Amino acid sequence: MQKDLTATLEYVKKLEEIDIEGVLPTSHPIKTENVLREDEPQKKELKEINELIQMAPKKKNGYVKTKRILSF
């Protein structure tokens, strides 16, 4: 794994040869504007909610159960 990662990083070094002086970065290929909509909760059927909770590997009383993530 380590060897593979090193080989990949070696490969991408090619980019160092390219002159990027004054070039702006592109994070997105298409010029789009920010799209906003009202932050309104969508009502879901109880059936769908139950289906979603059923998917969780561990659950209790209709809640998804996880390991403790904070300690006091």
Partner 1 sequence: MNKLNQLTITQAQEGMKKKKFSCQELMEDCLKRIEEIDEKIKAFITVCKKRAIQEAKEKDEIIQREKDLEDLFQKYPLFGIPIAVKDSFCTAGIKTTAASRVLENYIPTYDATVVKKLKEAGAVIIGKTNLDAWCHGSSTEASDFFTTHNPWNLNRLPGGSSGGSAASVAADMVIGAIGSETAGSIRQPASWCGVVGLKPTYGRVSRFGLIAMASSLDCPGPITKTVKDSAIILQVLAGKDEYDATSLSNPVPNYLEKINRGIEGIKIGLPKEYFFPEVQKEVIEKVKEAIKVFEKMGAEIKEISLFDPRCAIAVYTILQRAEVSSNLARYDGIRYGREREFFGKEAKRRIMLGTFVLSVGYYEAYYLRAQKVRTLICQDFEKAFKKVDVIIGPTSPSVALPLGASKESPMFGEIQDVLVEPSTIAGLPGINICCGFSSENLPMGLQIIGPQLSEKPLLQVAFAYQNETQWHQRKPKI
Binding site for partner 1 (CB under 8 A): 1, 4-5, 7-9, 11-16, 18, 20, 23-30, 32, 34-35, 37, 48, 51-52, 55-58, 64, 66
What DSSP character marks residue 23?
P
| Distance in Å, CB of 9 to partner 1, minimum | 7
| Distance in Å, CB of 71 to partner 1, minimum | 18
Give whole-number Cα distances, 42 to 49, 56, 64, in Å: 12, 21, 20
Per-residue tokens: 7: 């080989």
Q: How many Å apart are CA 28 and CA 31, to the nearest integer?
A: 7
For partner 1, the closer CB: 10 or 72? 10
